[in-house]
Structure 1
């Protein structure tokens, strides 16, 4: 009989392996009896007469009230418990009051890596997925938002550069909440049709090298928490789950975050979620991109190992520039800058796009370093290939949406 999330730890005495066959059979019988009793009672048991300790944890489903009490006491909600709790939320089985209380409690005590990873796993379960046939060099370039910088859509512009330089991008995003122009707003302003089916998006990635996944279309269960989030009006765990829940399951990612503490948290959450090559970045000037105005903190996951380091624009031969020069007030202003960059206009907008595209090309394993990726990005713009990718995406999405 299979019981989910069973933790079964056995510390065996060295002499155990020397028992006779009948002795080992007796021990196995005792183990089965203890297992049965534990399954019935939900408690941990100790077998004193065996030359071993047997600890069994059969977790009972946590109640919302118990979860809330944990957050009040600043104690962690364990992985299997968080899975159960998040599924209740995603199915709309918790009241708005209880949902608000729990997510606020998590925020106050600070969400742990395990809680975030478990919540993201459930969001992935409930999502409408995009099945990409070949995920080689597939990457997402995304930010948590919330940095308040109101820059033009840097990662959206970088998307076309990445695709032109040999990567494939499954771009996942929504409309602006904390910014003047979200990635969906920018895509629409550029002429891209964002309401495609999962099959159309997969084909778009295969043919064009870019697919845009409008978040509300892929996470319908979020409608159950949308009113709560809107009324609360403060950051909750859901603000940091979006970048972890790419519907195309991109194995590689460049993720910007709005606080330096999230670099270590998000990169470890990505590790638990099975990412292959990931960079989580935080500009020291508060930008959720690789910044030109300050050094950038980087958390990198590669070959299962995590390293953290800092990079500086001057490491790549780029001049420092304050984010004030990159700000916009409307999606139309962002669109104008994106088009100028793709047309080859020099300046800080081009530099920051190329630097972030270069990092994404490194994450996608197209380039062997950010420096090499930067050079590939610059070539993609200078050759006109990046601009051609935008035109191809607009043409494809308009054709299939007609």
Structure 2
């Protein structure tokens, strides 16, 4: 099947089969295909709306090509799929650090800012960490502490042909949906955030068809790809092939926020300041939203029996300085191993 034939199908709003989607993925990742053709295909797919079979096809190709990491089977990831245009600080990264401080192994998968003000790699680097770890260094990192980071370009070399295209397109594409589903460590426990209700539902059906243990796909009513403290959040809880739908409200947990501007940032530096203030114990909306999302991470990680219980663990980890210490352990480890690597080059 040629690119033109696939494009015609997409323009006619015809869903591709999983096999056809793998062919599309190979075209998109090919070095021999013009950027204009790739842009047309991605745009047409976005306008039609990505189906479950199409997402599964892309996942298959990406997972085959990615650099894999061997870690604890109980490790988790917290990752929004981006593109929600909310300009919030790095909530999922902060939640990952707090969850790690509570004893859950976290294999964070992330990138620089493409559709946000600050990507997870950006804020960790701003805090002093080296994010360009190898697979072996990631594995060693999780033996040293409970948190590690996998920088997308290091583990997905096939993405090198689409990075510039995504930045030039400046629209959400299928890649916004894929990030959480192609974690190099193959985590089976995750918080996956979605900026739209429709995408959240599709992602839940995709996850249902993948090897999973406990996943929460979340979408807040105001459009955040996080659990919100301002509006209710739709949750799709997936365990194996079962999906349970429910809504959680911040006021039910005593975490109602005051003003969404309190969690918004305009730069990487502002996100760094916000993250630092939270880990130092500052109170306010930023702390509340991190507590809420950390608690959900602890819940899928098996550290607690409910989100309410998880909030108590998260509060303790922040207030006793455990979360900040966990981040610093990762920062020091990453700098040390990367310095040793640089000296051998």
Please classify the TM superposition score into its range, dividing by the shorter chain length. over 0.9
User: Residues 17-56 of structure 1 correspond to what in structure 2 (within 5 A)?
Assistant: none
Q: Are positions 1:301 and 2:251 aligned together?
A: no
2:73 pairs, out of 128, 135, 138, with: 135
How many residue pairs were aligned? 339
Superposition CA RMSD, Å: 1.5
Q: TM-score, normalised by structure 2?
A: 0.94
Structure 2 residue aligned with 1:41: none
Residue matched to 2:31: 92
Answering whether residue 184 of structure 2 is matched by residue 255 of structure 1, we say: no
Do the aligned partners of 2:209 and 2:241 also contact (CA within 8 Å) in 1?
no
C-alpha distance in structure 1 between counterparts of 2:278 and 2:11, whole Å = 49
What SS is found at the alignment partner of 1:310? strand
Matched, 1:124 2:71: no
**Match among 281, 284, 309 for residue 221 of structure 2:** 284
Which 4+ runs in 1 deviate beyond 3 A?
Answer: none
Distance in 2 (alpha carbons) for counterparts of 1:228 and 1:181? 19
2: CA distance between counterparts of 1:216 and 1:196?
11
Is residue 187 of structure 1 aligned with residue 115 of structure 2? no
Is 2:281 the counterpart of 1:350? no
Which residue of 290, 314, 325 maps to 1:377? Answer: 314
Stretches of structure 2 that go unaligned for 5 or more consecutive residues are 340-345
SS at match of 1:156: helix
Match of 2:212 in 1: 275
Q: Secondary structure at the match of 1:358?
A: helix
Deviation for aligned residue 1:166: 1.6
The answer to whether the aligner puts 1:200 opposite 2:144 as a matched pair is no
Q: Distance in 2 between matches of 1:353 and 1:159?
A: 9
- Shift of residue 227, structure 1, vs aligned partner: 3.6
Note if contact 1:121-1:273 (Cα within 8 Å) is conserved in structure 2.
no
1:268-320 Cα deviation digits (max 9, x unpaired): 11222222211111111221111111111111101420111111001112233
Counterpart selection for 2:149 from 212, 232, 236: 212
1:110 to 33, 45, 49: 49
**Any stretches of 5+ residues in structure 1 without a counterpart?**
1-61
Corresponding residue to 2:259 among 273, 298, 322: 322
Higher relative contact order structure (alpha carbons within 8 Å, sequence separation ≥ 6) = 2
- Residue by residue over 1:28-48, the C-alpha shift from the partner in whole angstroms, topping out at 9 and shown as x without a partner, is xxxxxxxxxxxxxxxxxxxxx
CA separation of 1:159 and 1:248: change in aligned 2, threshold 3 A:
same
For 2:343, the equivalent position in structure 1 comes to none
Q: Give the secondary-structure state (helix, strand or coil) at the position aligned to 1:141.
A: strand
Deviation at 1:231, TM superposition (A): 3.4
Query: Contact conserved, 2:27 with 2:38, CA < 8 A, in 1?
Result: no
8 A Cα contact 1:282 1:297, kept in partner: yes
- Give the Cα–Cα distance (whole angstroms) in 2 for the partners of residues 293 and 370 of structure 1: 17
Give 3-state SS (helix, strand or coil) of 1:83's partner. helix
Q: Is the 8 A contact 1:117 1:270 kept in 2?
A: no
- Secondary structure (helix, strand or coil) at the match of 1:315 reads helix
- Deviation of 1:157 after TM superposition, in Å, equals 1.3
CA–CA distance in structure 2, aligned partners of residues 219 and 83 of structure 1: 16
Q: Which moved more, 1:161-170 or 1:176-185?
A: 176-185
Q: CA deviation at 1:93?
A: 4.2
Q: Distance in 1 between matches of 2:115 and 2:21?
A: 27
> 1:253 and 1:380, CA in 2 relative to 1: closer, same or farther beyond 3 A?
same
What residue is the counterpart of 2:301 in the other structure? 364
